[in-house]
Amino acid sequence: MLGSLLVLLTIFVSPAIALACGLAITGMALVASWLTFSLAGLLFDPFAPIVMGSITHFATTSFRFLVTDRERRAIRRAFGQYLSPSLLYRIEHTRDALRLGGDDRELTVMFVDVRNFTEISERLPPTAVVRFLNTLLDALSRHVTANEGTLDKFIGDSIMAFWNAPIDVADHPAKAVRAALAMRETIARLNESDAFGFGAEQTVRIGIGIHTGVACVGNMGAESRFNYSAVGDAVNTAARIETVCKTVSFDILASDDTVRSLPGWAFLDAGSLELKGKRARTRINAVVGDESVASSPDFAELRLLHGKLVEALRSRSPGSRKIIAAAKAKAAGLPAGLQDFYG
């Protein structure tokens, strides 16, 4: 019975816990043998049960390492660089959690890009450029994994990430936007502390594009070398949204498909824009903040002014300049840097 207990503990709980229980049983057997001999004059030799218990534990631990844990080790090798520890744990302990080889899923995709990177790299030696990128990308990518996202790849000075694969992530649009807002705060903190060593002469800025849609996600590449990645129109749309951050002079933009699932958040209509390679216009929204920002009186007033401005621009009203000035003044009290957005 004790041997069966050790087997079950080793396979279904932990070899370390089974070892601790085995040592406890060994100690109890030695104490019981000594007591029965000293008090009753009876000799029960504990040597054979102890040896057999040790052999049982060693054999079961070897079986678990070679067979049971093999799939978990393969998953950890494949996804350890891309996922947070919490997601890795869920994958390892969820049967059939992975659906590799190409799976259509609804994803929230994010692209992050450094503004004026060519200008920065022109005046720095290559080693300094690498040091700058490592500092920046490490700080920003932490927010992806902290919000249960998957780091797809680093493309030069850019980051591609997505949510809701390889396993389901609840409220993935919200987690993607929270990661983007955290990146905004991080880049402001890094600039303020001069973490890049540029001094006051250079402020590092980023642009972030977010879109929610169906994409194909799985292992892609050659048979000998492949990556876990996502492809499809949703990925292309997120990349195009990131590029128009320069056009609208704002750092975080999200599509209507993402914004629709986040009522009560602080978004502003940035218009319907033509994205490169897209036939129809795509409605874009400026991401100002989360629910706490949306409930602030300053944002409530700005939202009203912004609505009036949109109507004035559509009707080509001559009073639009006055509304822009009022919105720009009200935006100064918000943390998102909206003054450039209003020109």
**Confidence (pLDDT) at 9:** 77
Cβ atoms of 257 and 211 closer than 8 Å: yes
**Confidence (pLDDT) at 81:** 60
**Confidence (pLDDT) at 103:** 81
Low-confidence ranges of the chain (pLDDT < 70): 11, 66-102, 223-226
pLDDT 10s digits, 268-293 = 999 988 888 788 899 999 999 999 99
**Confidence (pLDDT) at 236:** 95
3-state secondary structure of 163: strand
**Confidence (pLDDT) at 87:** 60
Q: Is residue 48 exposed (0-12), middle (13-18) or buried (19+ Cβ within 10 Å)? A: exposed
**Confidence (pLDDT) at 80:** 63
**Confidence (pLDDT) at 223:** 61
- What's the predicted TM-score (pTM) here? 0.76
Q: What is the CA radius of gyration of the chain?
A: 29
